[in-house]
Structure 1
Amino acid sequence: MSNFQNLLEKRRTIYQLGKNMDLSKDEIASMIKKAVSEAPSAFHSQSSRIVILFGDEHTKVWDMTEAQLRQIVPADQFEPTKARIDGFRAAFGTVLFFEDQNVVKGLQEQFPLYAANFPKWSQESTAIAQYAVWLLLAESNIGANIQHYNPLIDNDVAKEYGIPESWTLHAQMPFGSIVAGAGEKSHMDEVERFKVFG
């Protein structure tokens, strides 16, 4: 099995994260920037936008998330929700993934024949960027998971970090040292999932 195949297996959803990191903030930020910069996008649009949060700023985004959730989750049912958010807060940092809708609209105007496809292709671009970051983090033994508290936290995030109106938040990725690994991973029967011809 190749190193890349091993890496595909190594990347897992890790929920129990910590702050005991071997790499510096600058090294991690450079890794994330490189992953996103090299991720493919439709028409090489480079529509993905990234905010990387460390320290108090990382904690702040999960404080905002908890505050928003308290407004919609009944108080007597909030404890499991709080425990989940505390898990993300315990991580070393968070990556926020956005897509710049000005890029999407510009491509729709430039290539009207494909106008309906560009929003879908933008979704694919952010998914590829997220996966690329996740793989590079896993390669460095950094655990991560993906969350989607958008649009619940969109306004708070935009106000706090000066996010342009054209940036749409798609995902949040807390990351950190691996406190506890993922459980066993099962796979569907190949017959149900794949067809090979020729």
Structure 2
Amino acid sequence: MGTATTTDFLSALRQRRSLYALQKGSPISDERIRQLLEEALTHTPSAFNSQTTRLVLLLGAEHDRLWEITRQVLKAIVPEDQFAPTNERIQGFQNAYGTILFFEDMAIIEHLQEQFPLYQDRFPVWAQHTNAMHQIVVWMLLESEGLGASLQHYNPLIDERVKAQWNLPESWQLVAQMPFGTPSAPPRDKEIKPLETRLRVFGH
């Protein structure tokens, strides 16, 4: 059983790639997607078991609204003659089925800083580690169910508009956005740098 589980995990890890050509379709139900996010939140570790990561699932018109907000924000700061590639990129994300927003609850982090002053400068760093673990877990879960995704970072440009649109707590800090959907094209080639420069082993 252990070998099979390891094989499944490695298969999901190997298949996880950044996919940008996505369609508005899903091989699984919205309820199943919600269940996957609940599993990720339940079982992904966090420093001091702080459980600071927050997820928001946007589907249908709410997903489209996110990328319209992003388009509006960027159009206001990107020169008009340079906006076409940006607009095309945003449209690609909007073509997806849904988006998962990843947040960290800074109120909990600040409480931990007060509770453990010796580590106060580390808690924001550990929170980012926690969020990153949630990102890879969610990404692999989506991949294992036949969905493709990519990870985007339009924060902090869109933070205030996002929190206002969905009435989210002020203490939630946006970390990343993950558009996902049915893949319509294979991933781009990925360069793997030599492992001998990235791994060192000492002893047995």
1:43 matched to 2:16? The reply is: no
1:102 matched to 2:113? The reply is: no
Deviations 1:31-65 (A, max 9, x none): 12211221110000000011100000000000000
Aligned to 1:193, which of 192, 198, 201? 198
Deviations 1:91-145 (A, max 9, x none): 0000000000011011111111111110100000110011110010000010000
Secondary structure of 1:169's partner?
Answer: strand
Aligned to 1:57, which of 57, 62, 65? 62
- Partners of 1:41 and 1:125 within 8 A in 2: yes
Secondary structure of 1:180's partner?
Answer: coil
TM-score of the two chains, using structure 1 as the length reference: 0.97
Measure, in 2, the Cα distance between the counterparts of 1:120 and 1:194.
24
Secondary structure of 1:170's partner?
Answer: strand
Secondary structure of 2:201's partner?
Answer: coil
In structure 1, list runs of 5 or more residues that go unmatched. Answer: none
Measure, in 2, the Cα distance between the counterparts of 1:115 and 1:147.
28
Deviations 1:60-88 (A, max 9, x none): 00000000000111111111111100000
Moved over 3 A (4+): none
- Counterpart position of 1:16: 21
Measure, in 1, the Cα distance between the counterparts of 2:157 and 2:22.
23
1:185: Cα distance to partner? 2.1
- Partners of 1:53 and 1:93 within 8 A in 2: yes
- Counterpart position of 1:119: 124
In structure 2, list runs of 5 or more residues that go unmatched. Answer: 1-5
- Partners of 2:57 and 2:101 within 8 A in 1: yes
Instruction: Give the alignment of 1:135-154 within 5 angstroms.
Output: 135-154=140-159
- Counterpart position of 1:173: 178
- Partners of 1:36 and 1:132 within 8 A in 2: no
- Counterpart position of 2:160: 155
- Partners of 1:36 and 1:133 within 8 A in 2: no
- Percent of residue pairs bearing the same amino acid type: 46
AA of the residue aligned to 1:190:
L
- Partners of 1:143 and 1:178 within 8 A in 2: yes
